[in-house]
Homo-oligomer: A and B are copies of this chain.
Amino acid sequence: MTDKTALTPATHTTPPAKFSHGVKKGNILQTAGQVGFLPAVDGRARALAGPTLREQTLQAFANVQAILEEGGATWDDAMMIRVYLTDVDHFAEMNEIYNAYFEEQGLTQPPAARTTVYVGLPSGVLIEIDALAVLD
């Protein structure tokens, strides 16, 4: 029996629905889609880090990273990052933020594969990101 573990970082609320922010089973870790919500504060509704793509992208990355770390993983273990944007015109800026962010992470392994598509998201949300990781 291999246990499936729910990954709920201290920065995250108890999931508001019957899903987990992340799960790990064996060496496979999957995060739920993360948007630019600021860390949870008891008794307050979660709020976006800001209205801009930059604020939301960096916060969404931080939220994915918190889940990876809760599962004992790092960005080095990430295999696939799915990026959902709402506007094709955001691609160049997202890429710039994405590249700078991963430069700063000091990866020691090749970066994850990535697919970016343009979808609808809830009002005010400009980006959603999820990641699949394979641990050592």
Residue ranges of A at the interface with B (Cβ–Cβ < 8 Å): 1-6, 15-23, 25-28, 30-33, 76-77, 79-82, 84, 88, 91, 95, 98-99, 101-103, 107, 109-123, 128, 130, 132, 134, 136
Contact = CB atoms under 8 A, between A and B. Distances in A.
A115 B79 contact: no
A112 B1 contact: no
Nearest to A100: B18
Assembly of this chain: how many copies?
3
A2 B136 contact: yes
Secondary structure class of chain A's binding surface, majority of residues = mixed
Contact of A130 (B98, B115, B120, B121): B115
Contact of A4 (B17, B101, B110, B115): B110
Contacts of A84: 115, 117
A90 to B, nearest CB: 11
Nearest to A102: B18
Contacts of A27: 26
